[in-house]
Chain A
Amino acid sequence: MTTLDKARPRTTVPSRTGPRPGQQSRPLHTVRTSDLLALAGALAAAFGATGLLWTQIAPFSGTLGYVVVTWCLFVLFYAALVSFDENRPTVRDRVAAVVAHSLAVLVVAALADVIGYTFFKGWDALVHLNFYTQDVRTTGPLDPLTKGGVIHAIAGTLIEVGIAMAIAVPLGLLAAVFMHEVPGPLARFVRTVIDAMTAMPDVLAGLFIYATLILSLGRGYFGFAASCALAITALPIVARAGSVVLRLVPGGLTEASYALGAGQRRTVWHVTLPTARSGLATAVILGTARAIGETSPVLLTAGSTFHLNVNPLSGPMMSLPLFAYQSVNSPFEFEKARGFGAATTLLALVVALFAIARFIGGRGPGVLTTRQQRRVAASSRRDLARYAQHRAAYTAVEAPGYPLEKP
């Protein structure tokens, strides 16, 4: 942008004879030194001012308050600094950028804090091998961490969630396929009901199973009841996520399959489901991670015990979230540490499942990994070789009217 001299005409033809102005390349990077200086200056000013406030003027307390006040002052100082050499919209832009950045940092910091704190508190229990091999049947809340463990809770969680997913995944995926492949009023109704059930508070599923399976059978708590409760919470989630994933399968692929004369069963089995495989796997694994962490249905239906119990059909069965919940509320230090150890184990399970889900399902529908591409290429090469072989065999006997073209 240049200022125009009023005396000169508004447009001029550049003369060829005059000296050429030296051409300078314009810097294209978006961050200038003054921006960085403004940031650093505002930060320093905010720290200084908050320190002054905290220690000299008005003694407040607490680290959170310190951080909050520093941040507010930082934004104020930054806006002031930027306004020295920019116009109003630019100041607003800079402040908005700072706010968006800090909110994102805050979310990451909160998650890191939750995970870090749990690991930190659970570490004392996790380093003892007996934590993974024993239950707490002979361990009192005052016993040291070299005694007792959470094997009963780990086994309980795995059994309960395993059975729950064995019920919920096939049913949920079948319902998703139904909603996708057999459209009509019935499918719409099923979709509405499933959508409604995803809104059900999970504690209500626990209460339902408690009223039906526990109270009316009158045989106390047992693991399978918890599986049923978890299945009821997971079923609508899996069905809904599955139907969303199926909807992402490109219509061109299925239509190509129908155009080649394949029936509906063949198309679903050989085109739709394989294309959506990674998405479906992700949906299922994330559903499992959710079910593993559910506490309230388990709290109402599986009871709690100190013993390792691997029979889901009789006797109460412990699970990791419930153990963590009960032990951490205990006033005894070692028991608390055990609870945090269980919470860390649970968190590790969830993070592992999450990592697997990302590993499988990071791609869109129908996008193949390098290995899958290699496998597909190899199978086409095999097909090509097979065709060539057939052709060679038929040309050898000079079969008349063979449909393949001759080379």
Chain B
Amino acid sequence: MVSRDSSAGDEPGSFIPFHGLPVPRKLTARLSASDHAFRAIATAGGVLVLVLMMLVGSFLAYRAAQALRKAGWSFLTTQAWNPDGGGFGIAAVMVGTILIALVAIVVAVPLAMGTALYISEYAPRWAQRFLINVTDLMAAVPSVIFGLWGVNFLQWHGMTDLSRWINNWFFWIPLFKVTGVTRNATGPTATAYTSSTFIAGVVVALMVTPIAASIMREAFSQAPVGEREGAYALGATRWGMIRAVVLPFAKGAIIGGTMLGLGRALGETIAVVSIISPVFIIQPHVLEHGTSSVASLIALRYQEATPFAVSALMAAGLALFALTLVVNFVAAIIVSRSRSGAASEA
């Protein structure tokens, strides 16, 4: 690390204990002036970043506290959002956020796992490189473009039909109920299924898939060759090998990647804003027109806000931040505890 002063023990005045046993030589590091300067600059940079980040966090917390003090516990239970008159709370928007994120995860996890498995286990070399590039590019595509695509293309070419189909057959599950639609109705009922939690969730799923897939792929490709060959030698098929070796090895990364994707899905703003039409009641029916999320609430309401209403928005944002923070940290812990975790963080 640093230059060690090797002559310390041989100096004439060095301490020799009277019992005569050897003691470890004392190692002292002498940093040169330029090294001191380097360390000072690096530390200053680190501290500056730290201060900036803490500033953002504490400012948000300070302003949010003003709103929270006024709203009290009703902040968690109120569904409406009228900070300048009447009550305001995150019950509706938080449920909407979580439902959109859950739909996204339910769609994204099989997609990501299938893609990651294909890349690491099935694909020939050229397809491997191609697919890695495809997933990385997918992670870089701006969210506004996913939003435009979702609202102009996906919504009309397939998703409303799919929603209607699910509703027709599974209406008895409360989650898939749509109010105001008669079953097997003919006629222009498509608008009843637009701008729903389901469509927003599917679009967000496409944005989450590459994140989860790249973490899973890293872990899959690190499953030890010896164990793979052991499974084959015992007569396993490829799928048998994957189930016995690859998936248990990468269990932590699968859970961690899923949770990182969940964190991203919770905070997604502009794609969700493009698709949903906001309502401020708890909307548990994922196929039905209209839902809301915390991030879209902020993006839609910031302009008409008084300073107090901005504080209220910050409180909502901070609640979302707390949620994503917990999700991300749990994900990080799971990824790092798993056997494959050491090299799978991105």
Mutual binders A and B: yes
Instruction: Determine if A253 is an interface residue (Cβ-Cβ < 8 Å).
Output: no
A101, A174, A329: the one within 8 Å of B122 (CB)? A101
Main secondary structure of the interface of A (DSSP, over half): helix
Which of the 9-residue segments B84-92, B110-118, B248-256 touches chain A?
A: B110-118
Residues 64-123 of B at the A interface (beta carbon under 8 Å) = 110-111, 113-115, 117-119, 121-123
A residues less than 8 Å from B269 (CB atoms) = 201-203, 295-296
Instruction: Determine if B144 is an interface residue (Cβ-Cβ < 8 Å).
Output: yes
Instruction: Determine if A118 is an interface residue (Cβ-Cβ < 8 Å).
Output: yes
A171 touches B48 (CB 8 A): yes
B residues less than 8 Å from A60 (CB atoms) = 165
Residues 290-346 of B at the A interface (beta carbon under 8 Å) = 294-295, 298-299, 302, 307, 310, 313-314, 317-318, 320-321, 324-325, 327-329, 332, 345-346
B237, B314, B317: the one within 8 Å of A89 (CB)? B237
Chain B residue nearest to A187 (CB atoms) is B46
A174: min CB distance to chain B, Å: 3
Chain A residue nearest to B209 (CB atoms) is A107
Instruction: Determine if A302 is an interface residue (Cβ-Cβ < 8 Å).
Output: no
A residues less than 8 Å from B110 (CB atoms) = 103
B111 touches A203 (CB 8 A): no
A193 touches B53 (CB 8 A): yes
Query: CA separation between A100 and B175, bound complex, in Å?
Result: 29
Instruction: Determine if B257 is an interface residue (Cβ-Cβ < 8 Å).
Output: no
A101 touches B118 (CB 8 A): yes
A199 touches B325 (CB 8 A): yes
Category for how many chain A residues contact B = 35 or more
Number of B residues, CB within 8 Å of A: 100
A93 touches B53 (CB 8 A): no
Further 19 A-B residue pairs, CB within 8 A, beyond A100-B114, A177-B45: A64-B157, A93-B239, A97-B238, A104-B115, A111-B138, A178-B42, A193-B50, A196-B53, A196-B57, A199-B263, A205-B56, A211-B310, A293-B141, A295-B269, A295-B270, A325-B274, A346-B145, A354-B136, A354-B137
User: Which B residues are within 8 Å of any A CB, using their own CB?
Assistant: 1-3, 31-32, 34-35, 37-39, 41-43, 45-50, 52-54, 56-57, 59-60, 63, 110-111, 113-115, 117-119, 121-123, 131, 133-138, 140-149, 152-153, 157-159, 161-162, 165, 206, 209, 213, 236-240, 242, 263, 266-267, 269-270, 273-274, 294-295, 298-299, 302, 307, 310, 313-314, 317-318, 320-321, 324-325, 327-329, 332, 345-346
Task: Name 22 interchain pairs, CB-CB below 8 A, sorted by A.
Answer: A63-B158, A65-B162, A68-B162, A97-B238, A97-B239, A104-B122, A104-B131, A107-B131, A108-B134, A179-B46, A190-B46, A195-B329, A200-B267, A201-B317, A203-B299, A204-B318, A208-B60, A264-B39, A268-B38, A292-B142, A294-B142, A347-B145
